[in-house]
């Protein structure tokens, strides 16, 4: 597709226009993706560490009401809680984040089409950016992505020099969006941006996801799961910072005896009570079984069902783990 | 390091302990917890300024406790512990979660640890829990290893922040904590990493009735974080694992340190310091001052 160039000054103006136009603008902050009101404060650094959490909360909020209810004398009144979100733009998203909507959309449009999710994604513009960060936890290249992958981006930025970015227009949605700001763009030079992106160092490929899938199919009862489980503390940090973990819990919250709302809240498969049955039976009663579920869901079940790995290789789960459990290392060892 | 490895190997070989909880280096300036049952693996153990975890959290885990049961007899669990980690072990014993004879404490003299993995250890990067630390030598241990060290002297940022919060009006302070708690995603990493959050079933997981809203919105987050602070008042030993585990950088130490200071001022009590002292709640006396209560 097309390629343009934007200077850093013009990029600040473009961001200011996005905010001025009443849209929500999200950019990487110090440790999190944050909604920003001041375009001049946005720092786009290809070498920055991935934020602690992904930006999935902007399309799949950690807590959202799905309906409101009122109890009358003889009836219950149900009121819609439609998703309300202005057009949202994220700028400077890492390639390991941008692919998340492609993966999440599969499950949110499987047997039931999730209006809340779909509405937000429809109104979401993803401006991705090439990544030059890499640490021991990164493994985007092992799950079919790369630091220069445009997958999931509507527009993709590549820094050409200290003052300019190449603006690759990846999707029709991206083109429609950026056309409104064409005054800030000049004609691009694809050979230059190609040269820059080809020089980016890629994290080493740690495993072959096909082989991992096949190993998992044969090793459900492998004793290694117990060992992994014994060190895991059973929190949901890994699931909650993950760009593609999507489990949720439905709970009713009463404001009063007659009114309340139904909430959809994040949930995580590493919690002991996640699979606890009302009978008291728990099919995943020890942590090893729960960790096995985490790995199988990501590298086997989701692949079987939707043809995608439920992982973007961002490494957030491992980077944030209080006991330094490294999913890359565990998955790489899923072999005979 | 060699003496640690030698001791761990001996303890496993002569069946004093069934397992040793310790640290293994995964790259320079980065360690992770490990549980060793094979004497040959003792050579993997390390101890340095990057042994951030408080391993006492594992002592109440069912499968770790089960390791101690071997061929009908019950062996001890060995644990490599910093002096502050030992405070947690003492607190667990005080609270009858553990028996002193069930654990073999390999106490390490400690000059403080780094704030995070990968940072150059020094005054600027000292973990905030180490700043007010007064126990560089283990208060209790079965063997103490390592040279005695002092912690670099730096200002106590946490205490400064607590003082600053106290100068605020009630409304300002509420607004401060609302902003911080709004970040909470209820992953419960704070609870999971806490050696003293050992309840088999946490009050937040109870649904009939539901005492604490599970939604991670302002109200639910306030309920959770404040209830946790209450449950730890006079119990928290200040290892700071909750704050380190928090993916959203919520300054949980402000709450926990404040509660610790309160218990210290009002009752001259600090948790996890003495095996001869009952717990603060356990030593309630009707003649106690009720000034702290509304």
DSSP state of A100: H
A147: part of which helix (H) or strand (E)? Answer: none
Three-state SS at A19 = helix
| Chain A interface includes B248 (CB < 8 A) | yes
Which of A171, A152, A182, A209 shows the shortest CA–CA distance to A327? A209
A153 with A173: CB under 8 angstroms?
no
User: Token digits for A201?
Assistant: 């160092």
Nearest-CA residue of chain B relative to A329? B26
Instruction: Compute the distance between CA of residue B45 and CA of residue B33 in angstroms, rounded to an integer.
Output: 10
B228: Cβ contacts below 8 Å, ≥ 6 apart = B190, B191, B197
Q: What does the pLDDT average to over A58-68? A: 95
Chain A residue numbers touching B185 (CB-CB < 8 A): 53, 57, 62, 240, 266
Over residues A107-120, the mean pLDDT reads 94
Query: How many other CB atoms are found less than 10 A from the CB of residue A65?
Result: 19
Give the residue ranges of DSSP H helices in chain A.
8-20, 95-98, 100-108, 115-122, 172-179, 190-198, 209-218, 224-231, 237-241, 287-296, 302-306, 316-319, 327-332
The answer, for B52 touching chain A at a CB cutoff of 8 Å, is no
CB contact, 8 Å: B64 with chain A?
Answer: yes
Q: How confident is the model at residue B20 (pLDDT cuts 50, 70, 90)?
A: very high
Predicted confidence at residue B73, as pLDDT, reads 82
Contact A322 B26 (CB under 8 A): no
Helices (H) and strands (E) in chain B, counts: 9, 8
Is the CB of B247 inside 8 Å of chain A's CB atoms? Answer: yes
Tell me phi and psi for residue B103, to 5 degrees: -130, 135
Tokens of B3: 């003496």
Contact yes or no for A46/A20 (Cβ under 8 A)? no
Distance from B102 to chain A by nearest Cα, in Å? 19
Calculate how close chain B gets to A245, using CA atoms only, in Å: 13
Q: What is the pLDDT of residue A242?
A: 98
125-184 in chain B: CB under 8 A from chain A:
none
Task: Tell me phi and psi for residue B209, to 5 degrees.
Answer: -85, 165
Give the span between the Cα atoms of B241 and B80, in whole angstroms: 16
What are the structure tokens assigned to B61, written together? 């885990």
Distance from CA of B139 to the nearest CA of A (A): 25
Distance separating alpha carbons of residues A160 and B194, to the nearest angstrom: 47
Considering only CA atoms, which of B221, B249, B228 is closest in space to residue A62? B221
User: CB-based contacts of A232: which residues, under 8 Å, 6+ apart?
Assistant: A270, A287, A290, A291, A323, A325
What is the per-residue pLDDT across A130-161, written as a single tens digit (0 to 9) for each?
Answer: 999 999 999 999 999 999 999 999 999 999 99
pLDDT in tens, B172-195: 999 999 999 999 999 999 999 999
Q: In this model, does residue B294 exceed pLDDT 70?
A: no
Give B276: exposed, middle or buried? Use CB within 10 Å, 0-12, 13-18, 19+.
exposed
B225-255: per-residue pLDDT in tens?
A: 999 999 999 999 999 999 999 999 999 999 9
Could you state, in order of their start, the residue ranges of all structural domains in chain B?
A: 2-145, 157-283
The pLDDT of residue A228:
87
Token pair for residue A46?
Answer: 């290809």
Residues in chain A with CB shorter than 8 Å from the CB of B34 are 231
Tell if the CB–CB gap between A322 and B249 is shorter than 8 Å: no
Q: What is the mean pLDDT of residues B98-120?
A: 96
Other C-beta atoms closer than 10 Å to the C-beta of B223 total 18
Rounded to an integer, the average pLDDT of A166-192 is: 94
Nearest chain A Cα distance for residue B131, angstroms: 21
B35 touches chain A (CB under 8 A): yes
- Among B100, B113, B103, which residue's Cα sits nearest to residue B23? B113
Instruction: Say what the pLDDT of residue A109 is.
Output: 97
* B27, B53, B205 ranked by CB distance to A323: nearest: B53
Q: Which residues of A touch B214 (CB under 8 A)?
A: 249, 251, 265
Q: What is the pLDDT of residue B70?
A: 82
Average pLDDT estimate for A77-98:
92
Q: What does the pLDDT look like over A8-52, one tens digit per residue?
A: 999 999 999 999 999 999 999 988 999 999 999 999 999 999 999
User: CA A304, CA A323: separation in Å to the nearest integer?
Assistant: 30
End-to-end CA distance of chain A: 43
Strand partners, A58: none
Q: Which residues, in sequence order, are bridge partners of residue A186?
A: A5
Three-class secondary structure assignment of B203-263: HHHCECCECCCCCCCHHHHHHHHHHHHHHHCCCCCCCCHHHHHCCCCCCHHHHHHHHHHHH
The pLDDT tens digits of the residues spanning B48-71 come to: 999 999 999 999 999 999 999 887
Complete edge-to-edge strand list for the sheet that includes strand A76-80 = A76-80, A63-71, A259-266, A248-254
The fraction of chain B above a pLDDT of 70, given in percent, is 99
Q: Between vectors from CA A58 to CA A52 and to CA A60, what angle results, nearest 5°? A: 100
Q: Which chain A residues touch B217 with a CB distance below 8 Å?
A: 63
pLDDT at A127: 98
Give the tokens for residue A336: 């005979």
Question: pLDDT tens digits for B122-151?
Answer: 999 999 999 999 999 999 999 999 999 888
- Burial pattern A219-247, b for ≥16 Cβ within 10 A else e, equals beeeeebeebbbbbbbbbbbbbbbbbbbb
As to burial, measured by CB atoms within 10 angstroms (0-12 exposed, 13-18 middle, 19+ buried), residue A97 is: buried
Q: pLDDT value at position B273?
A: 95
Predicted structure pTM score: 0.94
* Residue B56 to residues A71, B24, B139, Cα–Cα distance (Å): 49, 16, 15
Decide if B34 contacts B44 (C-beta within 8 A): yes
**Scanning the structure block, which residue is given the tokens 């103006």?**
A13
DSSP states along B64-122: HHHHTEETTEE-EEEEEE-HHHHHHHHHHHHTTSS-GGGEEEEEE-----BSSTTSPPS
Confidence of residue A82 (pLDDT cuts 50, 70, 90): confident
Give the residue-averaged pLDDT of A213-232.
Answer: 94
Q: In whole numbers, what is the pLDDT of chain B averaged over residues?
A: 93
Query: What is the predicted pLDDT for the residue at A94?
Result: 97
β-bridge partners, A262: A67, A252
Where residue A188 falls among pLDDT bands split at 50, 70, 90?
A: confident
Q: Would the CB atoms of A322 and B186 count as touching at under 8 Å? A: no
CA distances to A21, A140, A166, B78 from A195, in Å: 35, 21, 11, 56
Q: Give the separation between CA B235 and CA B229, rounded to whole angstroms.
A: 10
- Pick B35's closest partner by Cβ from A230, A263, A268: A230
Confidence at residue B71, expressed as pLDDT on a 0 to 100 scale:
79
Question: What pLDDT, on a 0 to 100 scale, did the predictor assign at position B293?
Answer: 66
In the predicted structure, residue A84 carries a pLDDT above the cut 80: no
Tens of pLDDT, residues A234-257: 999 999 999 999 999 999 998 888
CA angle B42, B46, B48 (to 5 degrees): 165
Strand order in the sheet with A24-28: A33-35, A24-28, A88-93, A124-129, A155-159, A164-169, A3-7, A185-187
Judged against a pLDDT cut of 90, whether residue B290 lies above it is answered with no
């Amino acid at each position: 597709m097309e390629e343009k160039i934007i200077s850093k000054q013009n990029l600040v103006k473009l961001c200011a226009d996005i905010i001025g136009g009443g849209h929500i603008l999200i950019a990487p902050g110090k440790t999190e993706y944050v909604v920003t009101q001041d375009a001049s404060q946005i720092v786009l650094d290809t070498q920055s560490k991935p934020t602690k959490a992904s930006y999935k909360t902007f399309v799949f909020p950690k807590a959202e009401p799905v309906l409101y209810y009122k109890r009358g004398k003889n009836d219950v009144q149900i009121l819609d809680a439609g998703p309300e979100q202005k057009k949202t733009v994220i700028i400077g998203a890492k390639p390991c984040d941008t692919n998340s909507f492609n993966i999440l959309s599969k499950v949110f449009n499987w047997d039931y089409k999730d209006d809340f999710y779909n509405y937000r994604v429809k109104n979401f513009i993803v401006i991705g950016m090439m990544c030059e960060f890499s640490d021991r936890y990164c493994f985007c290249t092992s799950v079919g992505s790369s630091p220069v992958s445009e997958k999931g981006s509507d527009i993709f930025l590549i820094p050409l020099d200290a003052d300019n970015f190449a603006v690759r227009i990846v999707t029709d949605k991206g083109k429609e969006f950026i056309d409104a700001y064409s005054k800030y763009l000049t004609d691009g030079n694809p050979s230059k941006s190609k040269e820059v992106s080809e020089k980016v160092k890629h994290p080493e490929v740690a495993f072959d996801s096909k082989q991992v899938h096949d190993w998992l199919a044969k090793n459900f009862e492998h004793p290694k799961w117990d060992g992994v489980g014994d060190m895991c503390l059973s929190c949901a940090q890994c699931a909650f910072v993950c760009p593609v973990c999507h489990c949720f819990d439905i709970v009713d919250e009463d404001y009063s005896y007659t009114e309340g709302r139904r909430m959809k809240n994040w949930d995580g498969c590493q919690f002991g009570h996640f699979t606890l049955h009302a009978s008291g039976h728990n099919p995943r009663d020890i942590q090893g079984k729960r960790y096995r579920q985490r790995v199988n869901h990501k590298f086997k079940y989701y692949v079987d069902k939707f043809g995608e790995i439920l992982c973007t290789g961002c490494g957030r789960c491992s980077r944030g783990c209080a006991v330094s459990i490294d999913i890359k290392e565990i998955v790489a060892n899923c072999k005979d | 390091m060699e003496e640690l490895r030698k001791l761990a190997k001996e303890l496993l070989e002569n069946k004093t302990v069934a397992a040793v909880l310790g640290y293994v280096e995964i790259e320079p300036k980065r360690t992770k917890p490990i549980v060793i049952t094979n004497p040959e693996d003792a050579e993997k153990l390390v101890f340095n300024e990057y042994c951030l975890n408080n391993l006492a959290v594992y002592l109440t885990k069912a499968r770790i406790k089960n390791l101690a049961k071997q061929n009908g007899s019950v062996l001890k669990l060995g644990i490599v512990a910093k002096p502050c980690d030992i405070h947690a072990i003492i607190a667990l014993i005080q609270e009858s979660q553990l028996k002193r004879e069930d654990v073999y404490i390999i106490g390490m003299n400690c000059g403080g640890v780094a704030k995070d993995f990968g940072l150059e250890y020094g005054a600027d990067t000292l973990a905030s829990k180490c700043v007010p630390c007064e126990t560089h030598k283990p208060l209790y241990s079965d063997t103490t290893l390592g040279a005695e060290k002092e912690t670099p002297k730096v200002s106590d940022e946490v205490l400064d922040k607590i003082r600053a919060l106290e100068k605020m009006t009630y409304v300002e302070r509420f607004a401060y904590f609302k902003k911080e708690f709004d970040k909470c995603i209820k992953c419960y990493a704070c609870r999971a990493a806490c050696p003293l959050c050992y309840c088999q079933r946490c009050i937040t997981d109870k649904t009939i009735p539901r005492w604490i809203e599970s939604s991670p919105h302002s109200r639910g987050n306030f309920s959770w974080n404040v209830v946790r602070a209450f449950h730890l008042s006079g119990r928290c030993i200040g290892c700071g694992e909750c704050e380190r585990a928090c993916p959203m950088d919520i300054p949980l130490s402000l709450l926990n340190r404040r509660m610790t200071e309160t218990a210290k001022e009002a009752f001259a009590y600090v948790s996890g310091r003495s095996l001869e002292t009952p717990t603060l709640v356990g030593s309630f006396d009707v003649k106690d001052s009720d000034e702290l209560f509304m």
